[in-house]
Structure 1
């Protein structure tokens, strides 16, 4: 009689693929493009061993080089990540409905999910040419100065969000470029209000003349899956609790959460 396989027995894999995965993982965790030798040190292999991987990854568009010869994830890596996100039910349901919300309000609407570097924009529903904001698929919302960041900070565990917040608050260049005061106290107050109200707003920040309202979408486990953000010119978007953008966004996210199995009464 054959003995059952031990639970500690690990199936045999392909070592080169696992090494490639560590390389891509290191690039994903990096705060910016890397030199070959720095990447090799992070992965724990020599530069000579790493170079053939980078040649293959570049041919597949998984990795690309900057003008300075530094390495970063390429466009195909982004497509892989977005494909994984799009396969989530909450995302598919949201994207199938968000166009109607944008049309009703006459405003831009974005969808963001939590990624390695914070709130990650996965879809943008444009509306005419009312605003010029740097909201692009694959980009990230700042945690400390956006309505989207406040919503994630309010409804995700601090163990997940705090490293991103601390990184922003220690980024001197980010603080220098800001048009407004950025500090931990202001951010904490915004998350408290978002948790109380179920949504967050920002006026004239992070871009002067542009304002936004964001709200969370929950699944059947009660976990926040994504944020929907309505964006518009400050003089055009009504951020009051009875204004159409806030009211319709909350109706939209509540209906979507309920359809995903979220118990709003609980």
Structure 2
């Protein structure tokens, strides 16, 4: 969800940016509500979600209609985002390079956590590493750009297994089984139950109990785009001793915060 800070909350960063236009910041709450709800809304409902009185919200909506930021259905009276909002969104999408954005985020995550971070895409042979950012620690791992992961025997592979269409997942898993040890993939294929897949979707990340390299574990999370499709997996990798020292209170939250922020910047709205 879009986070619009109250104008009364002044951070040091806000102060350094100079004085803004308070009415614009206030009115943006209405636009954020329309974007988050992702469906046309009646005035009273829109005002309630955005924290406005109906009369106050209506005044903003009149101006937004004039510039095409919102539209009102003549038959139902419901409001929705208008053509100008669509133009802005499309321009933002055309100017965004998901891989470049993910690379910058992965590099920062590696730096802040002192963990190795891998970016994985869905390639012709399955989950394929495209970038690895090393923390500087000398850990024995065989992950390099071009590495293909097992669909079920690695954290990255399980993320794609959980969030890709079921048909594509079954086809990839069957192909991996047919190839066996000759596949060249990292990770040993294993049976993953529907319950395990549901758990990954619920918590938003995946890991495996028996990692490909003993003593080194990985945790992976998905990155989605505006069409709600998974486009990347981001995976943190480190020695068990170091990972376990701050796994639940630092490392997993940092991973999820990074992937969720990237997804939001690429237009993903989980409420849909």
TM range (shorter): 0.5 to 0.7
Displacement after TM superposition at 1:142 (Å): 1.1
- What is the Cα deviation at residue 158 of structure 1? 1.8
Aligned to 2:218: 212
Gaps of 5+ in 1: 1-86
Partner residue in 2 for 1:91:
99
SS in 1 for 2:231: strand
| One of 192, 198, 209 as aligned partner of 1:192 | 198
Q: How far, CA to CA, are the matches of 1:122 and 1:147 in structure 2?
A: 16
The answer to whether the 8 A contact 2:122-2:128 is kept is yes
- Find the structure with the greater CA-based Rg: 2
SS in 1 for 2:241: coil
Indicate which of 159, 169, 187 corresponds to 2:177. 169
Spell out the pairing of 1:16-35 with structure 2 (5 A cutoff).
Answer: none
Give the aligned partner of residue 225 of structure 1. 231
1:118 aligns with 2:126: yes
State the Cα deviation string for residues 123-169 of structure 1 (Å, max 9, x = none).
00011134111001011111111010110000001222222211223
Contact 1:114 1:226 in 2 (8 A): yes
3-state SS of the aligned residue for 1:254? helix
What is the distance in 2 between the residues matched to 1:221 and 1:179? 30
Alignment partners' CA distance in 2, 1:129 and 1:161? 34
TM-align CA RMSD: 2.6
TM-score by length of 1: 0.60
Q: Distance in 2 between matches of 1:209 and 1:102?
A: 19
State the shift of 1:97 in Å: 1.9
How far, CA to CA, are the matches of 1:206 and 1:187 in structure 2?
Answer: 20
Q: Counterparts of 1:110 and 1:88 in 2: how far apart (Å)? A: 20
Q: Does 1:146 align with 2:154?
A: yes
Matched, 1:134 2:113: no
Q: Between Structure 1 and Structure 2, how many residues are aligned? A: 177
- Once the two structures are TM-superposed, the CA of residue 122 in structure 1 deviates from its matched residue by 0.4
Shift of the alpha carbon at 1:197? 1.1
Please give the per-residue CA displacement for 1:27-59, whole angstroms capped at 9, x wherever unaligned: xxxxxxxxxxxxxxxxxxxxxxxxxxxxxxxxx
